[in-house]
């Protein structure tokens, strides 16, 4: 009989942080994850409601979240 290992959400996030985002504090990493979820939600709304790519509000929403995420990817949130 083979046992399956099922990772909890918290275990997954801890592993992802350790493997790919060690340059971020835990709080910065969680903020980055939240921004990623916002970005994905905007994309899903765009598809669901057939919002064109050149919609000014959509462009601004993507730009805002991407700018914030970029700061975290660069580790630029150091104070």
User: How high does pLDDT run on average in the chain?
Assistant: 89
Confidence of residue 73 (pLDDT cuts 50, 70, 90): low
Whether residue 46 lies inside any domain: the answer is yes
Whether residue 55 lies inside any domain: the answer is yes
CA distance 33 to 27: 10
Q: How many structural domains compose the chain?
A: 1
Whether residue 38 lies inside any domain: the answer is yes
Whether residue 39 lies inside any domain: the answer is yes
Domain of residue 71 covers 25-79
Instruction: State the Cα angle at 23 between 64 and 72, rounded to 5°.
Output: 5
- The arithmetic mean of pLDDT across residues 40-53, rounded, is 96
Within 13 A of 71's CA, how many CA atoms are on the CB side? 12
- At 21, give phi and psi (nearest 5°): -130, 35
Total residue count of the chain as it appears in this document: 79
Confidence of residue 2 (pLDDT cuts 50, 70, 90): confident
Query: Measured between alpha carbons, how far apart are the two ends of the chain, in Å?
Result: 52
- The arithmetic mean of pLDDT across residues 2-20, rounded, is 93
33-51 in b/e form (b: 16+ CB < 10 A) is bebeeebeebeeebeeeee
């Amino acid at each position: 009989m083979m046992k399956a290992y099922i990772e909890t959400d918290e275990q997954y996030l801890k592993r992802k942080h350790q493997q790919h985002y060690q340059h971020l504090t835990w709080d910065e990493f969680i903020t980055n994850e939240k921004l990623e979820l916002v970005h994905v939600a905007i994309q899903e709304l765009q598809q669901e409601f057939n919002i064109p790519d050149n919609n000014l509000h959509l462009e601004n929403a993507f730009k805002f979240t991407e700018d914030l995420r970029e700061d975290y990817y660069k580790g630029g949130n150091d104070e």
